[in-house]
Amino acid sequence: MKANTTQIGRSMPRLEARAKVTGNTEYTHHLKLPGMLYGKIFRSTVAHGRIRSIDVSAARALEGVHSVITGQDILALVPEPYFGPAFLDQPVLALEKVRYVGEAVAVVLASDPHVAESAVQLIDAQYDELPAVFDEIEAMTSEAIVHDVLKPSGTFPDLKHLVGRKNTNIALDYHLKHGNAEKAFAEADHVFEHTFKTQQVMHTPLEPMVSAAEPGDQRLTIYTASQSPSFVRLEIARLLGWQESQVRVKVAHLGGGFGAKLYIKLEALVAVLALLTRRPVKIALTMEEQFYTITKHPTTFRIKSGVNKDGRIIARRCDVWWNGGAYADIGPRVTQKSGFTSGGPYDIENIDIESFALYTNRPPSGALRGFGIPQLVWAYESHTDIIARELGMDTLAIRRKNILREGRPQATGTPMRSAEIELVLERVAARMKWDQPFDRGSGTIRRGRGLAIGYKAVVAPTTSTAMVTIAADGSCILAMSTVDMGQGSDTTMAQIVAEIMDIPAERVRVLNPDTDVTPYDMATLGSRSTYHMGNAVKLASEDARDKLLAMAMDLDLPPETTPVPELFRRKYGMQAGTVVGFGSFVPPYAPPDKTNGQSENITPFWMIGGTGVELAVDTETGHVRIERMINVVDCGTPLNPAIVETQLSGAAIMQIGFSMQEKMELDAGQVTNASFADYKIPGFHDIPPVFENEMVDAHQPGAPFGAKGVGESATFSVSPAIANAIHDAIGLRLTELPMTPESVYRALRILQNKPVEDE
């Protein structure tokens, strides 16, 4: 390898930058196919009920309506129309039962979407209502059972062991035991226990979820705004009983994903509609409908610590309940993968973790930028601050005392490697000038500062493959199924190809995922692509380069100095021919022991994210103004620092929304604020005026050019850093998200022994 890289570490603009600023980017949103029908979904109005009848006659009779399809109609084509990455629990359209308000019950198809939408209003469904459960703690013991039977999917190796417990709402229970927590609690000088809650929120990608399907001769093409084209192909083929090669999945650039567009969302529905009608069918959700499709897990986290008087944490017990909603989606993986880091990035010798994925009658929960980690860090980093304050310790000092250092065993027993936890913490502290005095304000405006640090393991084991094609002029085509949803993967992967091939990245063309052409990738999720696909792309590039070198040797040409076009000309007599390189990557991994969660190698790499916050609180109204935010991460060596920078601010800003503003409000299971009018995501005035990001100096061994994932890292610590700063400002501890002005004001009044009296 060359000593100096030219394409790596280069902050080049995105390959598709020009298309994006001129409005020419082609999203699935814009797709139109000849003869296409538009589908509009009729949705359940009850949270839990048996379907007594669905009267579609008036809708069917409306002029311009092609057809109305219900779950019963699908049975003719697919006898078992259930899908899901963990459990085959979700019907393509509701069958027998509905399990949440907003569940898809029927679809109207028409050439004019306005007609389809009008016809939906004419459908009448009757239900025998069943008792419903919405809260994750109640779901543990509730008599209301969301699913009568559960069938594990068996698709992913990390979820092979799922069983589900009959007559309960528990989709997965996860246990970890490290050391002897019970004994250590008995020996500890102090024991602290707190409970923290997070709310249900939605990803709200600005390109709302959209899929289309086009039937062919023994073939089906699905066009979808999906983060997981390979999984879509596999799952649709399984549903139809077809070969994978009969299903083609094409994905354009995504207008945002954030975890919302994973696994199966609308793809199974458009697939069966297209096959039933023999017409292309497109379903594009509205912003409102996205709230009925996938969300982020609400959680309850009870955390208990045994601490010695010098501040050393010697025991910890974590009980986490994940509210998965009506369908498991990827919730079991969220529960398990995030489960083993529930204790935080601290060196705690005795730790017990119990984590439960639960069914309720809410809209389903799945992955959302952080895969459960922000919910955990919210609890353990708030808890850490409370302990420090109770012990009269500085909140940085307690972290320094307990931080999980290189080489020390994590709760799973895996020794920490290449995880710059301590460095990230120290950089946050240094940038905040933690050792300097801080002006805490006076009068009605009080100021505070806080910090927090969190970490995450990557999903494992997973597979990525890539193919690099070299044209006779030396330009390259990269075929991979990683989806660029805005995170910049096309560009950074092109930089890897370019570095190996010694050409400018601008000469690399990256194909959009198309399962007929682009080889398998597990999915674009969980910050896994840079490392996994990055390695596959590097291997494919090296394979291609090695073939070029061999070609040169065969032709008795000096391999290092012969220009590539010259090689092709000599080999083929003209500008002709192709060289193809292939790369496949599966990192080493040791699955955890089923009973105690212990593993020698629980993750291919760790992601670290710390946040520091300075803010001001209006004590008369509870308004919090974040004045400054610093996000520091260990992402290894960034491939494209400018893109990483945008990923960091983007992640943190999204988490500011989840911390301060966003919450899906439910009334008997009905979301009452499913629109941007009432569900407020951060705008320009909601972000801190001073916003800083830092990537610590780090290198991830085994990663492509030392780079690892970063899309989620700046989400981890935002919520607790804000809560800790509020505590610093006004002595008030908030334990539930979001921290709205009213919640701050009410808590302040309780602190003053003058609780707000409701009217």
Residue 334 CA to residue 136 CA, distance in Å, equals 15
String of DSSP letters for 145-161 = -S-S---B---SGGGTT
Q: Which residues pair with 448 in a beta bridge?
A: 615
Element (H, E) at 358: strand 350-358
Q: C-beta of 527: minimal distance to other proteins in Å?
A: 15
With respect to other proteins, which residue has the nearer C-beta, 253 or 528? Answer: 253
Q: C-beta of 206: minimal distance to other proteins in Å?
A: 4
CA atoms within 13 A on the CB side of 659: 30
Contact predicate 49/130, CB 8 Å: yes
With respect to other proteins, which residue has the nearer C-beta, 473 or 665? Answer: 665
Element (H, E) at 648: helix 641-660
Element (H, E) at 337: helix 331-339
Q: C-beta of 466: minimal distance to other proteins in Å?
A: 22
Minimal CA–CA distance to 172: which of 206, 197, 147? Answer: 147
Provide, for the chain, the percentages of residues in helix, strand and coil under a 3-state DSSP scheme, each rounded to the nearest 5.
30, 25, 45
Minimal CA–CA distance to 496: which of 540, 544, 537, 543? Answer: 537
Q: C-beta of 309: minimal distance to other proteins in Å?
A: 41
With respect to other proteins, which residue has the nearer C-beta, 17 or 550? Answer: 17
With respect to other proteins, which residue has the nearer C-beta, 111 or 463? Answer: 111
Residue 273 CA to residue 678 CA, distance in Å, equals 33
Q: C-beta of 317: minimal distance to other proteins in Å?
A: 35
Contact predicate 532/464, CB 8 Å: yes
With respect to other proteins, which residue has the nearer C-beta, 159 or 284? Answer: 284
52 phi and psi angles, rounded to 5 deg: -90, -45
Sheet holding 690-695, edge to edge: 441-442, 445-457, 606-618, 624-634, 690-695
Q: C-beta of 140: minimal distance to other proteins in Å?
A: 30
Contact predicate 537/505, CB 8 Å: no
With respect to other proteins, which residue has the nearer C-beta, 179 or 280? Answer: 280
Q: C-beta of 658: minimal distance to other proteins in Å?
A: 12
Residue 614 CA to residue 564 CA, distance in Å, equals 55
With respect to other proteins, which residue has the nearer C-beta, 345 or 513? Answer: 513
With respect to other proteins, which residue has the nearer C-beta, 117 or 542? Answer: 117
Element (H, E) at 430: helix 421-431
Contact predicate 634/611, CB 8 Å: no
Residue of 354, 712, 757, 759 with catalytic role: 712
Q: C-beta of 696: minimal distance to other proteins in Å?
A: 20
Q: Which residues pair with 584 in a beta bridge?
A: 465
Catalytic residue check, 712: yes
754 burial (CB, 10 Å; 0-12 / 13-18 / 19+) is: exposed
With respect to other proteins, which residue has the nearer C-beta, 113 or 565? Answer: 113
Q: Token digits for 551?
A: 């070609």
215 phi and psi angles, rounded to 5 deg: -75, 145
How do strand 49-55 and strand 124-129 relate by DSSP bridges?
Answer: antiparallel
Instruction: Count CB neighbours of 516 within 10 A.
Output: 12
Q: C-beta of 113: minimal distance to other proteins in Å?
A: 9
Would you please indicate which residues are annotated as catalytic (active-site) residues? 712
